Amino acid sequence: MTTPHTIAVLGLGRMGRALATRLAAQNRDVVGWTRSGRASGAVRTTSDPGEAVAKADLVLLALFDGPACRQVLDDIRGALRADAIVVNTSTVSPAEASALARRLGPSYVHAPLLGSVPAAATGALQILAAARQDALDRVRPVLETLGTVRPVDDASTAAALKLVANSSLAGAVLSLRDSLRQADALGLPRAQVLDVLELGRLGGLVAHKRTFLTGRPVAATAEFTIGALAKDMALLAAASDTPLGSAARLADTPAGPEADIALAATVPAVEDAVLEPLRAYIRGHATGDPGHFRDAFLPTAHVEGIRDGAFVSWPLDEYCALFSGRPAPDEPIRSRRIDTVDVHGTVATATMTLAHGADHFTDTFLLVRVGDSWRIANKAYHRHS
């Protein structure tokens, strides 16, 4: 068994650059290639991927996604040495990882990475490595200069574990978004809020990403982009065939796909316009005045649910007729709150909880933006027993 001497790094984006730099700093002979031709600074580069891999006994892929991996492997097909090992650190779907493992056979190591650019720079990554034992033994000394190797049974499992790990990161970013929105709504100073959040469960994320979270324009370059994390969540939701809210919530982030993931936590709360019909709806219940419901709903709206065991679908007029124009006698102890609002361009969904005496309702709304204003297109409700 010989340890690889010459390493070709294909893809010199954020991670590829950091990996190539680290390997070169550990006295490996590194040559880099990237599609855009961008120079990497610390390592020798070539504009021809075939030339990059021609002498390499280890080819390390750090590419955006599965299609990029397929494309680059097609491009180097004739140039790859017969004894070269391909180590793929890109985050791809389980099915894509399996297909790549089948395509390259015993010379393939699927090695998705836990950790970002700073961990790559200091050799502190966690590497989920799936390969045949002999291939893994050959590349292990190289991988150990990048971090800790955690063997996994097969490429598909390694890819799936990586996506699940990133779903917790996406969840943390979106949870931080919720906290910052609530703090903003309360008028709390951002610096003080970040100080306190640093003490809690999201402390590591807040401490590491603090420069992105101040609310002021950011000069720092992204370490891990919203686009890459949104890609991962879309891959996870598709692979599991199980709904995953973070996929759409990240994809819709106004900061844009090239921004650092931390900026997804700084997106302001939804615009007031989309809340207006929901607030009119709340006023309708609070006052008993059906005029507020007419402001809230489109005239074509229906209110639907199960009432006394039977499905009801009331047109708006019929729904309005249920209200007397006066508040309910127990109005002082009733409460209502808006739980979620998700805007997707000209449509939105929302949920609300209503505590009306002994009755608790979950209302779900479909909203549409018509011109400059939003209206409720339909409501469905559940009465909790």
Ligand X SMILES: NC(=O)c1ccc[n+]([C@@H]2O[C@H](COP(=O)([O-])OP(=O)(O)OC[C@H]3O[C@@H](n4cnc5c(N)ncnc54)[C@H](OP(=O)(O)O)[C@@H]3O)[C@@H](O)[C@H]2O)c1
Q: Which residues bind ligand X (CB under 6 A)?
A: 11-16, 34-36, 38, 62-65, 67-68, 71-72, 90-91, 113, 116-117, 223-224, 228, 232
Sequence-separated contacts (24+) of 122-126 with Cβ below 8 Å: 122/22, 123/22, 123/26, 123/147, 126/150
* Least spacing, CB of residue 125 vs ligand X, in Å: 8
Alpha helices in the chain (DSSP H): 14-25, 49-54, 66-76, 94-104, 117-122, 133-143, 155-185, 190-197, 203-213, 226-240, 245-251, 272-287, 290-296, 316-320
How far is it, in rounded angstroms, from Cα 68 to Cα 312?
51
Smallest distance, ligand X to C-beta of residue 118, A = 9
- CB 136 → ligand X: shortest distance, Å? 19
CB of 255 to ligand X, least distance (A): 15
CA dihedral 202, 246, 12, 30 (to 10 degrees): 60
Residue closer to ligand X, measured from CB, 143 or 350: 143
Q: What token pair was written down for 241?
A: 């065939």
Closer CB to ligand X, residue 78 or residue 371? 78
* CA distance to 18, 91, 101, 103, 215, per residue, from 98 (Å): 26, 13, 5, 9, 42
Contacts of 315-321 spanning 24+ positions with Cβ under 8 A: 319/293, 320/290, 320/293, 320/294, 321/290
Smallest gap, in angstroms, from Cβ of residue 98 to ligand X?
16
Nearest residue (CB) to ligand X, 5 versus 38: 38
Please give the Cα distance from 11 to 328 (Å, whole number). 65
Structure tokens at 2: 């010989």
CB of residue 263 to ligand X, shortest distance in Å: 14
191: helix, strand or coil? helix
Q: How far is the CB of 289 from ligand X (least distance, A)?
A: 53
Residue 113 or 301: the one with the smaller Cβ distance to ligand X is 113
64/365 with CB nearer ligand X: 64
Measured from the CB atom, the residue of 147 and 277 that comes closer to ligand X is 147
CA distance 88 to 97: 9
If the CB atoms of residues 126 and 378 are measured against ligand X, the closer one turns out to be 126
Cβ nearer to ligand X, comparing 72 with 265: 72
**b/e 70-81 (16+ beta carbons within 10 angstroms → b):** bebbebbeebbb
Cβ 33 to ligand X, closest distance in Å?
A: 9
Residue nearest to ligand X (CB): 13
